[in-house]
Amino acid sequence: MKSILTITLTLLVVELFAQKSAQRDWEVGVTGGICWYNGDLNPNKFFGKNYYNEAFGISVRKNLNQRFALRGQLNYGTLGAADETSTSPFQRNRNLNFSTPIYEFATGFEFNFLEYDALLNGKHFSPYSFIGLAIFHFNPSTEVEGNSYELQPLATEGKSYSKTSVAIPFGFGFKWAITDRIIANADWGMRRTFSDYLDDTSTSYPASGELEGLSESISDRSLEQSGPDGTNWGTQRGNSQSKDWYSFVTAGLAIRIGPKKGSCKHIGI
């Protein structure tokens, strides 16, 4: 009987400790920062002043336990680049530019490298990594002599594409429970997309005569023609072997939604 009582009391203490934890609470917040794109008009530069723009979002986190959490985000930003800012002779001669708003809904899992809990001393901070799935909408446009033109309807490479696609977001960050209610976090999330047309550039210039009017003039804006027939038609315009990427680097504040620290409800009474 004494052993049974000891085991029962032990289980009750464990249960009370678990209920006192904030590990199953929700966190709702706002974020702000920068975003940029990598693709044919910006193959490999990160944090370049010519490429990043402001970004904003709202976030929801459901803590499953001290190591794992579910996350959901709605993000908005602007992506863009111009060949004229590149050091590549090919790009500078190609002379393309684009800008697009990006609207994203992303969801996924977070893994805390340290045990994290807003209500337990010594567990208020943790770096984390995350991975998930996102759906995003974009609409690239270009500027020519002070005028802006939407690019997708012009089919500048003779192909049609969807302005809605999916991506795999992944990255890392850190979270810090400033108080038992206020949570700060910052992260860098990269998005591997399944579209190569965020910049309206992917394959080759169409064959000669395939385009006409505005589509033709915006498709080839090269400073010099370099094809074997004295034109660029039918020659390389982009790199179809790699998809476009975009990134968000943001910081934010969230409010923990749940019983307050030390409340009767939180200790199971």
pLDDT score of 24: 76
- Residue 20 predicted with pLDDT over 70: no
Confidence bin at 49 (pLDDT 50/70/90) = confident
**Backbone φ, ψ for residue 88 (5° rounding):** -75, 125
In a domain, 265, yes or no: no
List Cβ neighbours of 239 (8 Å cut-off, separation of 6 or more): 40, 202
- Residue 216 predicted with pLDDT over 90: yes
pLDDT tens digits, 121-136: 999 999 999 999 999 9
DSSP state of 230: S
Residue 216 to residue 134: CA distance in whole angstroms: 34
pLDDT score of 6: 47
Residue 187 to residue 71: CA distance in whole angstroms: 13
In a domain, 3, yes or no: no
- The reported pTM is 0.86
pLDDT score of 48: 86
pLDDT tens digits, 134-168: 999 999 999 999 999 999 999 999 999 999 999 99
Average pLDDT over residues 90-117: 97
Average pLDDT over residues 63-78: 96
Using alpha carbons, select from 194, 248, 239, 247 the residue that is nearest to residue 43: 239
Structural domain that includes position 162: 23-257
The DSSP secondary structure of 108-138, one letter per residue, reads EEEEESS---TTSTT-SEEEEEEEEEEEEEE
pLDDT score of 23: 62
Distances (CA, A) of 50 to 17, 41, 75, 88: 51, 11, 21, 15
In a domain, 96, yes or no: yes
pLDDT score of 261: 64
Q: Which parts of the chain are beta strand (E)? A: 26-38, 53-63, 68-82, 97-112, 125-138, 141-144, 147-150, 164-177, 182-193, 245-257
Confidence bin at 11 (pLDDT 50/70/90) = very low
In a domain, 110, yes or no: yes
The CB density around residue 45, as the number of other CB atoms within 10 Å, is: 16
In a domain, 219, yes or no: yes
Of 14-23, 71-80, 102-111, 234-243, least confident by mean pLDDT is: 14-23
50: domain CATH number? 2.40.160.20
- Residue 7 predicted with pLDDT over 80: no
Which residues is 99 bridged to in the sheet?
Answer: 80, 141
pLDDT score of 149: 97
Q: How many domains does the chain have?
A: 1
Q: Which two tokens stand for residue 179?
A: 């108080």
pLDDT score of 258: 77
In a domain, 170, yes or no: yes
In a domain, 15, yes or no: no
Distances (CA, A) of 165 to 9, 73, 243, 246: 54, 16, 12, 13
Rounded percentage of the chain residues whose pLDDT exceeds 70: 88
Higher-confidence position of 21 and 240: 240
How high is the mean pLDDT of the chain?
89
Q: Which amino acid is at 17?
A: F
pLDDT tens digits, 162-191: 999 999 999 999 999 999 999 999 999 999
In a domain, 131, yes or no: yes
